[in-house]
């Protein structure tokens, strides 16, 4: 079976199993979504959801966050991985939004990537979740599962994103979220639940792939 043909079959199966997949991060607006996604880097959504209520209560908008005390932000997110750098980036990001974007969170990839702590994956996740943009974002779950299914052999998340985008072309936002949920609950890194897998016939290895 050719790779493109295989990809289209897998795509159809994923869309059937996850008709309306959404992020598990809790947020009320694009500001809260951006902050939550920034905090979720190399951290679980569950952990992020535990710290964001107090953070958003203290800093309910980008204006408040731009004036925040670094030590106070650190204390609010200290249970999140890499909280020191994340606290600095959150405040710098908010200051940039105030200075460069008139207090409005930008709504395009290039502008989002100009903000501190926001790479391509973070920018894409925000655009996928908030605007249902036809983009693919590659986190550890998407990277691992797409490699196990033989959809990509790329070494980096960006290269994997390019390959998956070319293979799937449409419904990239839904497929991103579906692959994340699939990797989180079924195709796990250390103990994949293969007996529950609905695409096991396409799996080529149980190896735990990690991006460079």
- Measured between alpha carbons, how far is 154 from 199 in angstroms, rounded to an integer? 21
- Measured between alpha carbons, how far is 122 from 19 in angstroms, rounded to an integer? 23
Q: How far is CA 77 from the centre of its chain?
A: 19
Is residue 113 annotated as part of the catalytic site, yes or no? no
Is residue 88 annotated as part of the catalytic site, yes or no? no
Catalytic member of 139, 153, 155, 191: 139
Catalytic member of 11, 121, 173, 174: 121
Q: Which two tokens stand for residue 65?
A: 């966050």
Taking the alpha carbons of 88, 89, 94, 100 in that order, is the dihedral positive or negative? positive
Provide the b/e sequence for 175-197 (b: ≥16 CB within 10 Å): bbbbbbbbbbebbbeeebeeeeb
Q: Which residues are catalytic?
A: 121, 139
């Amino acid at each position: 079976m050719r790779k493109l043909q295989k990809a289209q079959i897998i795509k159809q199966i994923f869309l059937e199993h996850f008709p309306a997949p959404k992020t598990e991060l809790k947020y009320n607006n694009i500001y809260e979504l951006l902050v939550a996604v920034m905090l979720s880097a190399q951290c679980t959504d569950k952990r992020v959801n535990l710290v964001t209520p107090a953070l958003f209560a203290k800093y309910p908008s980008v204006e408040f966050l731009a004036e925040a005390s670094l030590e106070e932000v650190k204390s609010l997110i200290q249970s999140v991985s890499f909280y020191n750098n994340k606290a600095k980036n959150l405040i710098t990001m908010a200051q940039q939004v105030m200075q460069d974007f008139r207090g409005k969170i930008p709504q395009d990839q290039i502008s989002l990537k100009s903000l501190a702590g926001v790479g391509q994956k973070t920018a894409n996740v925000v655009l996928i979740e908030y605007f249902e943009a036809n983009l693919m974002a590659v986190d550890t779950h998407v990277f691992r599962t797409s490699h196990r299914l033989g959809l990509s052999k790329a070494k980096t998340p960006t290269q994997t994103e390019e390959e998956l985008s070319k293979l799937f072309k449409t419904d990239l936002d839904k497929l991103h979220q579906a692959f994340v949920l699939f990797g989180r609950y079924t195709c796990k890194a250390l103990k994949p639940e293969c007996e529950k897998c609905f695409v096991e016939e396409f799996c080529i290895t149980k190896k735990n792939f990690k991006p460079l």
